[in-house]
Chains A and B, each alone.
Chain A
Amino acid sequence: MKTLLFGLCLLLSGFAATAQDSLAYRSGIRIQYGGAYPTGDFNNTNFEEDYPPFAKEGSMFQVSYLRSIKERLFAGATLAWRRNTFDMDKFADPADELVTDKSSKPWQSVFVMADAEYRFIARDGFFYVKGSLGSAFSRSARLQVNTLYGTINRPADNGFAFAYGLHSGVQVDLNQFGIGFETGVISTRSTFEITDAQGKTTRYKQTMATINCGLFANYSF
Chain B
Amino acid sequence: MKTKLLLLYTSILLTLSSCHTETEDFISKYCPGSCTVIKGRLTTDDRSKPLGGVMLEVRYEEFSMFSSFKRRKAVATTDANGNFELRFLMRDDEIGNADGSFGEMNVYAHLDTSKYLTCSGSQRLLAYYRLKRDTTLAVNYNIPRKAFVQVQALNTAAMQTGDNLTTDFIVDAGAADDPSTCVPGIFWHRNVTAQTFAIAANQQVTIRTYKRKSGVETVTSETVTLTPGQTINYQVTF
B27 close to A96 (CB less than 8 A):
yes
Decide yes or no: A149 and B29 within 8 Å by CB, A47-B75, A48-B75 being known contacts: no
A149 close to B89 (CB less than 8 A):
yes
B27 close to A145 (CB less than 8 A):
yes
Residue in chain B with minimal CB distance to A198: B87
Q: Which of A48, A96, A197 contacts B30 (CB 8 A)?
A: A197
B32 close to A149 (CB less than 8 A):
yes
Complex CA distance for A149 and B26, rounded to whole angstroms: 14
Residue A40 CB within 8 A of the other chain: no
Complex CA distance for A80 and B145, rounded to whole angstroms: 54
Residue A196 CB within 8 A of the other chain: yes
B30 close to A196 (CB less than 8 A):
yes
Complex CA distance for A57 and B32, rounded to whole angstroms: 28
Q: Which of B32, B55, B57 contacts A197 (CB 8 A)?
A: B32
For B32, what are the chain A residues with a Cβ–Cβ distance below 8 Å? 145, 147, 149-152, 197
Interface string of A190-216 (1 = CB under 8 A from B): 000000111000000000000000000
A149 close to B24 (CB less than 8 A):
no
Residue in chain B with minimal CB distance to A90: B26
B43 to chain A, nearest CB (A): 23
For B30, what are the chain A residues with a Cβ–Cβ distance below 8 Å? 152, 196-197
List B residues 7-65 near A (Cβ within 8 Å). Answer: 24, 26-27, 29-34, 55, 57
Residue A91 CB within 8 A of the other chain: yes
Residue in chain A with minimal CB distance to B30: A152
Residue in chain A with minimal CB distance to B92: A97
Complex CA distance for A97 and B89, rounded to whole angstroms: 13
- Interface residue count on the B side (C-beta < 8 Å): 18
Residue in chain B with minimal CB distance to A147: B32
For B27, what are the chain A residues with a Cβ–Cβ distance below 8 Å? 92, 96, 98-99, 145, 147, 152
Complex CA distance for A82 and B79, rounded to whole angstroms: 37
List B residues 117-145 near A (Cβ within 8 Å). Answer: 133
Residue in chain B with minimal CB distance to A52: B26
Q: Which of A91, A150, A151, A198 contacts B26 (CB 8 A)?
A: A91
A197 close to B91 (CB less than 8 A):
no
Decide yes or no: A149 and B34 within 8 Å by CB, A47-B72, A47-B75, A92-B27 being known contacts: yes
B30 to chain A, nearest CB (A): 5
Complex CA distance for A197 and B87, rounded to whole angstroms: 11
Decide yes or no: A150 and B29 within 8 Å by CB, A48-B55, A48-B75, A98-B89 being known contacts: no
For A198, what are the chain B residues with a Cβ–Cβ distance below 8 Å? 87
A33 to chain B, nearest CB (A): 32
For B55, what are the chain A residues with a Cβ–Cβ distance below 8 Å? 48
Interface string of A92-117 (1 = CB under 8 A from B): 10001111000000000000000000
B196 to chain A, nearest CB (A): 34
B237 to chain A, nearest CB (A): 50
Residue in chain B with minimal CB distance to A92: B27
B88 to chain A, nearest CB (A): 11
A5 to chain B, nearest CB (A): 32
For B24, what are the chain A residues with a Cβ–Cβ distance below 8 Å? 47
Complex CA distance for A147 and B133, rounded to whole angstroms: 14
Complex CA distance for A152 and B26, rounded to whole angstroms: 10
For B92, what are the chain A residues with a Cβ–Cβ distance below 8 Å? 97
* Residue of B27, B34, B92 with most partner-chain A CB within 10 A: B27
Residue in chain A with minimal CB distance to B55: A48
The 7 closest A-B pairs by CB, nearest first: A150-B33, A150-B32, A149-B34, A149-B33, A47-B24, A152-B32, A152-B30
Q: List 11 A-B contacts (CB under 8 A).
A: A47-B29, A47-B75, A97-B91, A98-B91, A145-B32, A147-B27, A150-B34, A196-B30, A197-B30, A197-B33, A198-B87
Chain A residues packing against B (C-beta within 8 Å): 47-48, 91-92, 96-99, 145, 147, 149-152, 196-198
Query: Given A147-B32, A149-B31, A152-B27, 15 more contacts at CB 8 Å?
Result: A47-B26, A47-B75, A48-B75, A92-B26, A98-B89, A99-B27, A145-B27, A147-B27, A147-B89, A149-B32, A149-B33, A150-B33, A196-B30, A197-B30, A197-B32
